Amino acid sequence: MDRSPPFSSSSSDSSQFSSTSSSPAKSTRVVLSIECLKGSSKADEWTGDMLQTGDIVEELRIGNMIVKSPFKNGKSGIQKILHGSFKQKETSIRVRVRRGSDELAELQACIVPGDQFVGRKHYVLRAIDDPNYAVGFIDRTESECLDLQGQKLNISLVDFSMLDI
């Protein structure tokens, strides 16, 4: 009998977003991804690089609650968790994301109501020390995320190649 914690992931877990085949291709698996909404250059509370659109969310920590990927019901499930936490005035959150296969980054932020969808309970995360930096969540396939990450890597490589070192 499997005794893994309710929010842990394992290779045998299946997501409702997986394709209907018995062994879905990794690139078609739907994951929770970061969507940058606003940004600036200040980000003291980040470890590693700034989170970017396309980063794959691996874990959320709100108070004593830890929620790990795969996230039940994706973005809508996370929005319900954020809504419940906001109502309970538990707005401090730590988000851990993955880039590629092994690079991790983390953000400590606050849960705030989003101003994009009037009349809808929609929540975003604002960086603690930089209220101009906000991220949201979106469901994407893993291959879409990796493509977005690859585009940013290619841009960075081009920028470095222009330097006379």
User: Could you tell me the residue range of the domain that residue 138 belongs to?
Assistant: 28-161
Answer yes or no: is 18 within a domain.
Answer: no
φ, ψ of residue 54 in degrees (nearest 5): 100, -15
Q: Where are the alpha helices (DSSP H) in the chain?
A: 74-87, 142-161
Q: Is residue 20 part of a domain?
A: no
Domain assignment of residue 1, yes or no: no
At 103, list the tokens. 């690079």
Highest mean pLDDT pick, 9-18, 62-71, 129-138: 62-71
Evaluate whether residue 135 is within a structural domain. yes
pLDDT band (50, 70, 90) for residue 152: low
Higher local confidence (pLDDT), 3 or 62: 62
Residues sharing a CB contact under 8 Å with residue 87, sequence separation 6 or more, in sequence order: none
Residue 113: HSE in the Cβ half-sphere, 13 Å Cα cutoff: 8
Number of domains in the chain: 1
Given a cut of 80, is residue 15 above it in pLDDT? no
Mean pLDDT of 52-80: 94
Over the stretch 132-150, which tens digit does the pLDDT of each residue have? 788 999 999 999 998 888 7
Q: What percent of the chain lies above the pLDDT cut of 90?
A: 41
pLDDT: which is higher, 87 or 153: 87
Residue 85 domain flag: yes
Question: Is residue 47 very low, low, confident or very high in pLDDT (cuts 50, 70, 90)?
Answer: very low
**Entry pTM:** 0.70
Helices (H), 11-141: 74-87
- Rounded to an integer, the average pLDDT of 111-140 is 82
Please report the pLDDT score of residue 101 as a whole number: 78
Helix, strand, coil percent content, the chain, rounded in steps of 5: 20, 30, 45
Is 23 inside a domain boundary?
Answer: no
How, if at all, do strands 134-141 and 30-38 pair?
A: antiparallel
Domain assignment present for 8: no
Alpha-carbon span 125 to 155, nearest angstrom: 26
